[in-house]
Each structure stands twice: as C-alpha cells, then as structure tokens.
Amino acid sequence: MTDMIRAAMIEALGQDPVIRTIPAPAPQAGRVLVRMAASALNFADLLKARGQYQEPADPPFVPGLEGAGTILSAGGCPGLEAGMRVVVSAPGTMAEQVLVDPQAVQPMPDAMGWDQAAGFQVAYGTSHLALAGRGGLAEGDRLVVLGAAGGVGLTAVEIGAAMGAHVVAVARGADKLEVARRAGAAEGIDSADCPDLRAALRALGGADVVYDPVGAEPGEAAFGALRPGGRFLAIGFAGGRPPTLPLNHALVKNIAIHGFYWGGYRSLDPQALQGSMCALFDLFEAGRLSPVAGDVLPLDQVARGFGLLRDRKSVGKVVITL
C-alpha cells in the first residue's frame, strides 16, 4: 500500500477529467480496500461530468461507476479476503485504490480478464435484469435493440440471443451491424440508411420487446413497431432526449412501458442485482457470453476515452487500465 495514488478527476462540470495524485484511502473495519486494475466508462459518466446525471456529484470528484481489481484489505467483511479478485460497483472507480462497502464488490470468475470484468457489470447487468425481469423476454420473442453496437446495446444483443430470442439490431453503419451480428443478431437495420425505421421494423415482423438506450426519434419509431402485448424498455437517452410515446397506443395495444435504471436496484432490490450477476457469471463460465472491450486505454488517456464515448466512436465498452 502506498501513501499517494493517481486518479482521474473531474474538477469542473462540463470539462474532461485530468490526472491528479491524491492520498491513498486507509483500510477500515467493515470496508473493503481494492487495488483497481481497470475501470470502464459509461454514458452515465458523461452525464455526471456535465452535472446532468440523476445522482449528481459536486466537483472535484473521481469518475467511474464500475471496475475490477484485487482486495488489499477485506476489513473483516465475511466472505471476502485479501488477494481476492473482485468486480466493483461504486462511484469513483477511476483511481488506483478505492475503499467501498462490501455490498459493492463481488468475486469474479477466475477465467475473466481485467478488461472483460471492468465493463461487465453495468452493461451486462442492465441488459440481463431488464430483459429477464421487466421485459419478460421469452424464447422465440422478437427483440429489437437500438444502439446495438454500443456498450449496453451490444450486451442486449448477446444476452437476448443467449435467451433464445430473435434479435433485430439497429445500429449506424455496416461495421457496427457486423459487430452486432457476431454477437448474435439475426437481422440488422442500418439507421444511417433507413428513412423510416418504424416501417422497416414492421416489414421484418415487428417486435415483442424493444430495448431502447437511445430514445428520441429511434425510440419513437421502435415503439410504433411493437406488437400487441409488447414491452418497451427505456434504458437511456443517448439520442439527447426521451422518446415521446403515445399512451393511447399503449392502452389499445396492451403495451407495457418500463423504465429501467440498473444502479437504482442497489436500494430497490439488491438481491435481484446480486442474483442477476451470479446468473451472468454462470453464462460466462459456460461460454455463452464473450465480453470484449472496445477500446482499452491507460489512465493518462482517460480524456480521450471520454471523447470516444461522447463522439460515439467506440464499439463496445471503453476501458481505462489502472
């Protein structure tokens, strides 16, 4: 353990992070000290840096909502011990060491690499708990995934296919659609070359479930392609605004609209969160999930990582190594 560590730091809202040297956290009873190996970027990190996230933070603060590393001190917490490899789900993971509650860590599979583990929880956890829970996805269902090559959308494609759904991927560009196809999509629509997404989805047979991390016009179009009894999962608004959904159509077609915020399950239903992660680790160990980081950058290039995410130039998760 060292007296000082390096960390990314948001020093003013609206600015990219900078690298600073800060005091290392001291071990505490009842808390877990983790030496971080890698941390992943999420769209929520961009929102938080702009002051637009639902759980705001006043600068200066360390970004990052998830990561993976090795326990330095378990603080006497049952089931945890020094040297254990764990995933971490807590604010401030983009530092060389973090001190967190024991509920924020979970042992990870031996076969999972740091780059895979760092970005596994939020993206895979969101997709699995949303699809298997609120979405009620069943084998043979038609699942439409918007933003299908993004960090969260790509996991929805992979998990949906693993659950036996017929996955239709919507993404911008042939390269991104090919990534989605390799993840398990049965069909794809290039949103950059599709003047009427709703009509295109209906021509393919419509949707039983729509997984929407984009919002705006694509979300509205996909909602219009839902079959009677369909489910619409509002995951995020990377398109800049929530979709405007006609509730009269939801009523007439018996469509369910579900908002889903993975981080909220820490207090809403932590058992469901933990159970979902255990199920995902089982799928990984069975070889049915193959998480791949899109861009892996050292801590010194964290500002570049923010730029890749902001400009939508990343495919999959952006991972920062520590």
Q: pLDDT band at residue 2, thresholds of 50, 70 and 90?
A: low
Reported residue count of the chain is: 322
Compute the chain's Rg from CA coordinates.
20
In this prediction, residues 34-40 reach a mean pLDDT of 97
Q: Which of 131, 122, 53 is nearest to 263 (CA)?
A: 122
Q: Are the C-beta atoms of 309 and 46 separated by less than 8 Å? A: yes
Q: How much is the pTM?
A: 0.85
Phi/psi of residue 49, each to 5°? -70, -20
Q: Does domain 123-263 have CATH number 3.30.160.340?
A: no
Residue 22 pLDDT grade (very low, low, confident, very high; cuts 50, 70, 90): very high
Q: Where are the domains of the chain?
A: 4-119+291-321, 123-263
Using one digit for the tens of pLDDT, what is the confidence trace for 188-224? Answer: 999 999 999 999 999 999 999 999 999 999 999 999 9
For residue 251 the two structure tokens come to: 């009523």
Q: Please, what is the Cα angle at 225 between 222 and 227, to 5 degrees?
A: 130
Q: Is the pLDDT of residue 117 over 90?
A: yes
Question: Mean of the per-residue pLDDT values for the chain?
Answer: 94
Please state, in angstroms and rounded to a whole number, the distance separating the CA atoms of residues 207 and 224.
9
Superfamily of domain covering 4-119+291-321: Medium-chain alcohol dehydrogenases, catalytic domain (3.90.180.10)
CA distances from 140 to 185, 208, 304 (A): 13, 10, 41
